[in-house]
Amino acid sequence: MAKKYEELDFTDDFMFGKVLYNHPELCRELLELILDKKIRKIQFPEVQKSISVTGDGKGVRFDIYTEDSENIVYDVEMQTTSDENLPKRSRYYHSMLDLSLIEKGRDYKELKKCYVIFICKRNIGRFPIYSYRMRCDAAPEIELGDDTRTIFVNAYGSSKGISKKLREFLAYIKTGEPSNDPKSLTRKLQSCVIQARKHKEWRTEYMTLLMKYQEMMEEGRKEGLKEGRKEGLKEGRKEGLKEGRKEGLKEGRKEGLEEGHIEINQLVAALIADNRMDELKRSAVDKMFQEQLLKEYQIGRYESA
């Protein structure tokens, strides 16, 4: 089930975007913490910035997109689910950023330095920060110099050797509990979350999105029932030839309906929780894409042992 608006945390996409979009100074402070560098000023962050290169091609929607006073671009993503495809997803985000930053016929030197940052709530390894850049295999000390960086922030990473501020932030992402220090970043973020929960217009906006999701969920449910019935009949016929057509059809139809219904409902609930409205809408009409999402969330037959 989708969360109520009053239950949203900083790690929920909707709240994550609202807090950082409306408090750019906190967005800057967060970037400084993750990158361990000073940033003099950032432009007003954009929330859920969409980029689509072609009308029928796969686009991308960035959680938070901003630039600093030195024309460095930052894309910050909140990742609450496990995703084995994060490396290639980051590659795709970099490519879409590049395509959006340079106009046709312009020189490649106009491409800006770019950071793609994923804040991961699920465990992705033992380090708190994974930072990647292009280097030479024969001489790792030589960088390619393409001005791209990919960073994964791991909430479950080891706290050994990291700053108190970063340790507090990782704990906040992991548990939702801020530091007791009123001046800490986590306390300021949580204060913004508490205030945002009282915002009537944002609550209405969230509820409107939720209603749209529920409509798409119903569409997905109907499609699931249809596919479940189809598969049930198919399997029922096979079993019916062996053990009796009537009983086989009955059991096959029942199991197919139940399995299809449960899988689709689980998928829709997961997509709503992660605020992935575009993928939810697409999954209702694109069965291959729906299968990819079921595998991503490890639902039903894709559930890991």
The three-state DSSP-derived secondary structure of 226-246 is HHHHHHHHHHHHHHHHHHCHH
Q: Are residues 177 and 226 in the same domain?
A: no
Q: Are residues 266 and 187 in the same domain?
A: no
Distance CA 16, CA 61 (A): 14
Q: Are residues 167 and 185 in the same domain?
A: yes
Query: Could you tell me how far CA 155 lies from the centroid of its own chain?
Result: 15
Q: Are residues 192 and 207 in the same domain?
A: no
Residue 242, pLDDT score: 58
Q: Are residues 119 and 37 in the same domain?
A: yes
> Strand, coil or helix: what is 79?
strand
Q: Are residues 191 and 208 in the same domain?
A: no
Q: Are residues 103 and 55 in the same domain?
A: yes
Domain span including residue 279: 202-302
Tens place of pLDDT per residue across the chain (305 aa): 678 999 999 999 999 999 999 999 999 999 999 999 999 999 888 887 777 655 555 667 788 999 999 999 999 999 988 777 899 999 999 998 888 887 656 778 889 999 999 999 999 999 999 999 999 999 999 999 999 999 999 999 999 999 999 999 999 999 999 999 999 999 999 999 999 999 999 999 999 988 887 777 677 666 766 666 667 666 655 665 555 555 555 555 555 555 556 677 777 767 776 667 767 777 776 778 888 888 877 787 676 54
Q: Are residues 185 and 50 in the same domain?
A: yes
∠ CA 49-52-58 to the nearest 5 degrees? 115
> Strand, coil or helix: what is 287?
helix
Number of domains in the chain: 2
Q: Are residues 87 and 173 in the same domain?
A: yes
Residue 103, pLDDT score: 67
State which of 180, 198, 216 marks the end of a domain. Answer: 198
Q: How far is CA 289 from CA 278, 281, 284, 295, 296, in A?
A: 12, 11, 9, 10, 10
> Strand, coil or helix: what is 59?
coil
State which of 198, 220, 243 marks the end of a domain. Answer: 198
Distance CA 305, CA 300 (A): 11
Q: Are residues 206 and 156 in the same domain?
A: no
DSSP symbol at 301: G
Residue that the structure tokens 């108190």 belong to? 164
Query: Could you tell me how far CA 100 lies from the centroid of its own chain?
Result: 20
Q: Are residues 277 and 194 in the same domain?
A: no
Q: Are residues 246 and 214 in the same domain?
A: yes
State which of 132, 163, 198 marks the end of a domain. Answer: 198
Residues near 114 by beta carbon (within 8 Å), at least 6 away in sequence: 72, 73, 74, 75, 94, 97, 98, 101, 147, 148, 149
Residue 8, pLDDT score: 96
Distance CA 277, CA 285 (A): 13
Residue 305, pLDDT score: 43
Distance CA 60, CA 95 (A): 10
Q: Give the burial class of 55: count Cβ atoms within 10 A of its Cβ; 0-12 exposed, 13-18 middle, 19 or more buried.
A: exposed
What pTM does this model have?
Answer: 0.71
Distance CA 148, CA 116 (A): 8
